[in-house]
Amino acid sequence: MKTIKPYLLTVAVIAFSVNLQAQQINEDLINLLIQKQVISQNDADSIRVVNAIKALQAKEKQTKYTPLTGVPLTLNGYTQVRFQSQQEEGKPDYLDIRRARLDFKGVVDEHWDYRLQLEFAGSPKILDAVISYKHRNWLKFSAGQFKIPFSAENLTSSNKTESIDRSQVVEALAARSKDVIGNQNGRDLGIQVNGSILKVKDRYIIDYAFGGFNGAGINTADNNEPKDFVARILLHPFKNVDFGGSYYNGYGKWGGPAKEQVRLRYATELSFTYAIASIKGEYILGQDGTVKKGGWFAQAGAYIYKKSVQLIARYDTFDPNTDTAKKDDSSTNYIFGVNLNFNSWAKLQVNYTYKDEEGKAVNNDLVVAQLQLGF
User: Would you state the pLDDT for residue 316?
Assistant: 98
User: Would you state the pLDDT for residue 20?
Assistant: 43
Element at 32 (helix H, strand E): helix 27-35
User: Would you state the pLDDT for residue 257?
Assistant: 84
Residue 244, SS3 per DSSP: strand
User: Would you state the pLDDT for residue 52?
Assistant: 67
Residue 256, SS3 per DSSP: coil
User: Would you state the pLDDT for residue 5?
Assistant: 47
Neighbour count for residue 26 (Cβ, 10 Å): 11
Q: Compute the distance between CA of residue 361 and CA of residue 350 in angstroms, rounded to an integer.
A: 25
The model's pTM: 0.81
Residue pair 138/120 in contact by the 8 Å Cβ criterion: no
User: Would you state the pLDDT for residue 325?
Assistant: 67
Residue pair 314/335 in contact by the 8 Å Cβ criterion: yes
Mean pLDDT over 359-372 rounds to: 90
Would you tell me the crossing angle of helices 27-35 and 41-59 to the nearest 10 degrees? 160
Class of domain 60-374: mainly beta
- Omega cis (within 30) before 226: no
User: Would you state the pLDDT for residue 201?
Assistant: 87
Choice between 170 and 11, residue whose per-residue pLDDT is larger: 170
Question: pLDDT tens-digit profile of 33-88?
Answer: 777 777 777 777 777 767 766 666 565 555 555 555 566 789 999 999 999 998 88
Stretch among 71-80, 234-243, 293-302, 342-351 having the lowest mean pLDDT: 71-80
What is the distance, to the nearest Å, from the Cα of residue 305 to the centroid of all Cα atoms in its chain?
23
Q: Compute the distance between CA of residue 152 and CA of residue 312 in angstroms, rounded to an integer.
A: 18
Residue pair 94/84 in contact by the 8 Å Cβ criterion: yes
Neighbour count for residue 7 (Cβ, 10 Å): 8
**Angle at CA 309, nearest 5°, toward 159 and 103?**
15
Question: pLDDT tens-digit profile of 163-193?
Answer: 999 999 999 999 999 999 999 999 999 999 9
Long-range contacts of 10-17 (CB under 8 A, 24+ apart): 12/38, 13/38, 13/39, 13/43, 16/47, 17/47, 17/50
Question: pLDDT tens-digit profile of 105-163?
Answer: 999 999 999 999 999 999 999 999 999 999 999 999 999 999 999 999 999 999 999 99
List all residues 6 or more positions away from 155 whose beta carbon is below 8 Å from its beta carbon. 147, 149, 186
Percent with pLDDT over 70 in the chain: 86
User: What is the secondary structure of 141-180 as a DSSP string?
Assistant: EEEEEEE-S--HHHHS-TTT-SSSS--HHHHHHTTSTTST
Residue 307 corresponds to which amino acid? K
* Domain ranges within the chain, ordered by starting residue: 6-57, 60-374
